[in-house]
Every structure is written in C-alpha cells, then in structure tokens.
Amino acid sequence: MLYGTPVVRRRDAQRNRAAIVLAATEVLAEGDPVALMPEIARRAGVGQATLYRHFADRHALTSAVIEHQLDRLEEAVAGLAAHPEHFRELLRSVLHTQIAMRGLVVLLRRLDAPTQNRYRRRALAALSGPLRRAREHGHVRADLVPEDLALLFTMVQGVAEATGDAAAARAAADRSVDLMLDGICLTAAD
C-alpha cells in the first residue's frame, strides 16, 4: 500500500466491524465493562482474533462505540431540525441513553482528558442547534446554553452512580431526568 492511500475494507470486514460495535453497545448497555472483549466477540459472531484485528484494545473499542453513539445522536438531531418542539424528547432520549450505557460511561472516564473533551464537545455541538431553535421558539428557558446540558449529563450520571443497585439507580436517574426537564422546558402555560 502506498502512503496516503485510503484503506478500503472488504465487505465482510466492514460487516464484522459493525457487528462488533453493535455487540459492544449491547454489552455496555448491560453495564459490565470488565468482561467486555470475550463476550463482545461471542455476540458479534466473530473470534477474538477478529475482534482484536479491528480493535487493538478496550480503549479503541470504547472509542468506536462512543463514535457510533454520537453518529446516532447526530442522525436524530438531523431528523428534528424543523421541529424545535421536540427538543424535550430529544434531550430525554439522550439522557436515558446515558443511563442505559453506564458501562460505556465508566470506560469513557478511563480515556485521556483530551479525548473525553473531544467527545463532550461533539455531543454539545450536536445539541446546540436544536437547543437554540427550541429556545427561540419558547420551548425551553431563555437562559439555557449548551454548557448547561453538560451539567445535566453530570447530574444524571451522579444520580445513576449513587447506588450499587442497578435497578434503584436507573429508577432514581429516570426520576432526575423528569425533574430536570420540567425545570428547563416550558409548557404552553409558561
């Protein structure tokens, strides 16, 4: 291969990579980031050698799953561009995904600070346009800014991690999401 020539993956390699990322997403939604690699290979229907050929280590796989989640967020945002009234549902979905992906958040925190900040900026950038439109149309508080969303993510994570009981943590985090959204989103009566 010549330097600068893009790598073109075979279709089966692309399929395997996608299956691995989806399997990793499932495993991380179940909350156990420790037993990650063998279980992901099994669920993806590939051998561990194939998994490691695509992702050299847990950090590389974590990054791929985060990228996948951010791609999904950007797709959801694009679909709501003309509907600022749906910002509350979009933000609720993002926060509930964060709760469901507790294992991913644990692994994200193990990444270096510049990488964490890059992902944070990308998530906030994706939400900035919908937030601005929702604010302009009176669907959220007039003083709500993208950095406030980062505070919401931190608060929800704190609630989700407050107890070792996963069911209790999820219930408390779900309740906190509703309380926060009631505090930032305006109703017709406001």
117, 172 contact by CB (below 8 A): no
- The answer to whether residue 5 sits within a structural domain is no
- The answer to whether residue 6 sits within a structural domain is no
pLDDT at 85: 93
- The answer to whether residue 168 sits within a structural domain is yes
pLDDT at 30: 78
- The answer to whether residue 2 sits within a structural domain is no
Q: Classify residue 43 as exposed, middle or buried by CB count within 10 Å of its CB (0-12, 13-18, 19+).
A: middle
What is the value of pTM for the model shown? 0.83
CA distance 149 to 124: 7
- The answer to whether residue 152 sits within a structural domain is yes
CATH number of the domain encompassing residue 108? 1.10.357.10
Q: Sorting pLDDT into bands at 50, 70 and 90, what band is 3? A: low
- The answer to whether residue 190 sits within a structural domain is no
- The answer to whether residue 131 sits within a structural domain is yes
170, 99 contact by CB (below 8 A): yes
CA distance 27 to 62: 12
Q: Sorting pLDDT into bands at 50, 70 and 90, what band is 95? A: very high
How many domains does the structure of the chain reveal? 1
- The answer to whether residue 1 sits within a structural domain is no
What letter represents residue 54's amino acid?
H
Q: Is the dihedral of CA 36, 40, 46, 51 positive or negative?
A: negative
Beta strands, E only, 18-176: none
Parent domain of 49 = 11-184
Using a pLDDT cut of 90, give the percent of the chain over it.
59
